[in-house]
Amino acid sequence: FSGLLIAMLPVLAVYIIFQRQVQAGLTAGALK
Q: Coil, strand, or helix at residue 32?
A: coil
| Closest to 17 in 3D by CA, of 9, 7, 27 | 9
The pLDDT of residue 30 is 79
The pLDDT of residue 32 is 66
The pLDDT of residue 31 is 72
pTM: 0.58
- Rounded CA-CA distance 1/8 in Å is 10
The pLDDT tens digits of the residues spanning 1-32 come to: 789 989 999 999 999 999 999 998 888 887 76
Q: Of all helices (H) and strands (E), which one includes residue 11?
A: helix 2-31
Q: Where are the domains of the chain?
A: 1-32
- Rounded CA-CA distance 18/3 in Å is 24
The pLDDT of residue 18 is 96
